[in-house]
Amino acid sequence: MIRLEDLAFRYPGGPLRLDVPELAVARAERVAVVGPSGSGKTALLRLVAGIVVPDAGHVLTNGVEVGALPDAERRRFRIRNVGLVFQEFELLEFLSVLDNVLLPYHLDRALPGQDAARERASELARHVGLADKLDRRPENLEIGLVVLAGLLLAGGLTVTSARYAPELLRSVFLS
């Protein structure tokens, strides 16, 4: 669940000013964030994820006021609750595809289901044609396969979100 109330945000020194009086997105509801370049789409996603904090107002993600959390807690919240794919994303070149997909589990060893996540990652990789490439580094993959790996990472592999990952991949590649 995402809820924004009286949100105001501006990048320091930048011309963009984002004002959102109210926005509510229910759990499992699908929305598209569209608009011209520079209109604040990425800023909005960064606010919801807690990458940046609002100048005013409230951002609640899964019932947590993300902007009120200290930086370390916001990072922990993102690892456990948020999966984003931006236009330009980078997998870590020094990790294999599998380790990139499992990155949240490397960053937070307290996440439940470590073994199940590894199995789920392998299953999803087989489903999208990455199974024989899990040990490769991103630099040794075609760009389309890097995108697939990024989608697996963003889709999340927790017990809660794993059921949505195949749907995410289907909706992206079959629509």
Choice between 150 and 78, residue whose per-residue pLDDT is larger? 78
Q: What is the CATH number of the domain that holds 74?
A: 3.40.50.300
CA distance readout (Å), 83 to 2, 12, 79, 150, 165: 13, 25, 8, 10, 11
Q: Read off the pLDDT of residues 9-40 as tens digits, 9 standing for 90 and up.
A: 998 888 889 999 999 999 888 888 888 878 88
Same domain flag for 121 and 154: yes
Q: Read off the pLDDT of residues 94-138 as tens digits, 9 standing for 90 and up.
A: 888 888 888 877 777 777 777 888 888 888 777 777 788 889 888
Contact criterion met (CB below 8 Å) for 131 and 122: yes
Distance in angstroms (rounded) separating the CA atoms of residues 125 and 43: 30
Same domain flag for 76 and 128: no
pLDDT, position 65: 94
Same domain flag for 74 and 29: yes
Name which of 83, 109, 25, 32 is nearest 59 in CA terms.
Answer: 25
Q: Can you give the pTM of this predicted structure?
A: 0.59
Residues spanned by the domain of 74:
2-81
Same domain flag for 138 and 164: yes
Does 142 map to a domain? yes
